[in-house]
């Protein structure tokens, strides 16, 4: 059923393959929650049951953005079930919207010292260690997304020009400067970690047979595994992207420069990182006791 749902998203919604796979994976939790047999449960599904599952998800303490995505995917699945004849009525309309406001969250950079701890755990004598070091440097040195790392091809690396071609959201293609340290890490992995083991164009591959290209989920899993090995709080690649952005601002980069490196379409998206730029915020805040005593009296 989930495979058919995924194909329906590709056909009817023109979703990208990665998006369709993500929808199907997220909806699996709802399908598993339904009493067996699932087909019969769907035919008897009520609005009250849908709301019950939504309340259970909300009680898990998910971030508003994460819960919102879960509910969007549930609506799509219920629409699919209705249009494919698995349900007699369309219950997608009873799924509520999660209260969330765009750009209202505060970026959460990785704690000081955690990144160094990640690198310290790597065994650079092994193919996996070389691969993981290159991935971490792409995350911390260029702020790439997990999907962008998974989509890298050998031809995207400008060995002589010092550039890196990135395929971002919405089929956007950008050229970024390739820092020397990142370039050397990629070279060592391609020559000594990846070389001779695979024949495909993808840069990053799994290290356990059957060897296959590393997916975006694989990149996320790799970072979390390194966190566990390093004994630090477990986090994903996107927090390293937050750390890269806030670090750039802290060293004096302008919002426009950070926007270009992160490849944000709108400057207001980049501006969210100013919320944790303490150096610049303190310049905007007057000395409170002086200001208070001069303006307000009882």
Structure tokens at 14: 């023109």
Pairing of strands 173-177, 163-167: antiparallel
Task: Name the strand (E) or helix (H) holding 141.
Answer: helix 127-142
DSSP for 24-64 reads: HHHHHHHHHHSPSSHHHHHHT--HHHHHHHHHHHHHTT--H
- For residue 165, with 0-12 CB atoms within 10 Å meaning exposed, 13-18 middle and 19 or more buried, which class applies? middle
Laid out side by side, the sheet with 163-167 consists of: 157-158, 163-167, 173-177
Give the integer Cα–Cα distance in Å for 164 and 109. Answer: 24
Q: What residues are annotated to the active site?
A: 145, 169, 238, 241, 264, 273
HSE-up (13 A, CA, CB side) for residue 236? 10
């Amino acid at each position: 059923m989930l495979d058919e749902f995924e194909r329906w998203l590709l056909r009817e919604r023109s979703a990208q393959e990665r998006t369709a796979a993500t929808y199907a994976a997220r909806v699996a939790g709802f399908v598993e929650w339904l009493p067996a047999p699932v087909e019969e449960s769907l035919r008897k599904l009520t609005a009250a049951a849908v709301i019950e599952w939504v309340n259970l998800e909300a009680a898990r303490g998910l971030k508003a953005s994460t819960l919102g995505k879960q509910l969007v995917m549930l609506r799509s699945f219920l629409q699919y079930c209705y249009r494919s004849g698995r349900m007699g009525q369309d219950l997608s309309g009873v799924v509520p919207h999660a209260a969330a406001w765009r750009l209202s969250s505060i970026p959460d950079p990785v704690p000081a010292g955690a990144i160094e701890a990640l690198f310290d755990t790597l065994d650079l004598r092994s193919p996996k260690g070389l691969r993981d070091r290159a991935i971490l440097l792409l995350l911390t040195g260029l702020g790439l997304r997990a999907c962008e790392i998974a989509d890298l091809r050998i031809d995207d690396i400008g060995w002589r020009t010092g550039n890196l071609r990135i395929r971002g959201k919405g089929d956007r293609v950008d050229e970024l400067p390739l820092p020397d340290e990142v370039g050397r890490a990629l070279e060592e992995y391609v020559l000594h970690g990846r070389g001779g083991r695979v024949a495909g164009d993808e840069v990053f591959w799994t290290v356990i047979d059957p060897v296959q290209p590393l997916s975006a989920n694989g990149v996320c899993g790799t970072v979390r595994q390194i966190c566990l090995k390093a004994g630090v709080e477990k986090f994903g690649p996107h927090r390293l992207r937050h750390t890269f952005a806030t670090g750039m601002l802290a060293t004096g980069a302008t919002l426009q420069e950070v926007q270009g490196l992160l490849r944000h379409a709108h400057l207001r998206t980049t501006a969210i990182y100013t919320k944790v730029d303490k150096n610049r915020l303190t310049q905007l805040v007057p000395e409170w006791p002086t200001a208070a005593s001069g303006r307000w009296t009882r």
